[in-house]
Amino acid sequence: MAIILRSEAFEDGGSIPSRYTCDGAGISPPLSWSGVPHEARNLALICEDPDAPKGVFTHWVVFNIPPDTTQLPEDIPPAKTLKSGARQGTNSVQRIGYVRLCPPSGAHRYYFRLYALDTELNLQPGITKEELLEAMQGHVVAEAQVMGTYARE
């Protein structure tokens, strides 16, 4: 059984509502998942835009999500540590938490990737995506993604 990641706000490959962008409230979208493997001890989430003009732009880094968690509701606050114990990393604008989607021109793709890990990561809040990916090496037991697009009018 594979992990299935989805959002009630947009279909995989569909348009992300402006509510989650700089043209709206700029809050994080709701995400939910199922099929986390039994051996998972921890989950991690990364959201990035590979179409950004200066290279891949990281919008969100969340890790140490308890494995029995099945969702992140919309509008996650920019706290270092969430009520569940999950921790947030630093995005491409050097802030903790979700940074709103705001493509400068054209349609951009936004990938939300969820990773099931076989270990808990002994990392502090505020780490970068690169630091998280390095710590995850050899520990990913399953992964899933959902992709949405957004173009400013």
How is the chain split into domains, by residue range? 4-151
Report the DSSP beta bridge partners of residue 111.
48, 147
The rounded mean pLDDT for the chain is 96
In this predicted model, what pLDDT tens digit does every residue of 24-39 receive, in sequence order?
Answer: 999 999 999 999 999 9
C-alpha distances in Å from residue 86, one per residue of 39, 82, 105: 18, 5, 33
In this predicted model, what pLDDT tens digit does every residue of 77-136 receive, in sequence order?
Answer: 999 999 999 999 999 999 999 999 999 999 999 999 999 999 999 999 999 999 999 999
User: CATH classification of 4-151 is 3.90.280.10, yes or no?
Assistant: yes
Is the pTM higher than 0.85? The answer reads: yes
Task: Read off φ and ψ for residue 133, nearest 5 degrees.
Answer: -60, -40
Classify burial at 67, counting beta carbons within 10 Å of its beta carbon; exposed 0-12, middle 13-18, buried 19 or more.
middle
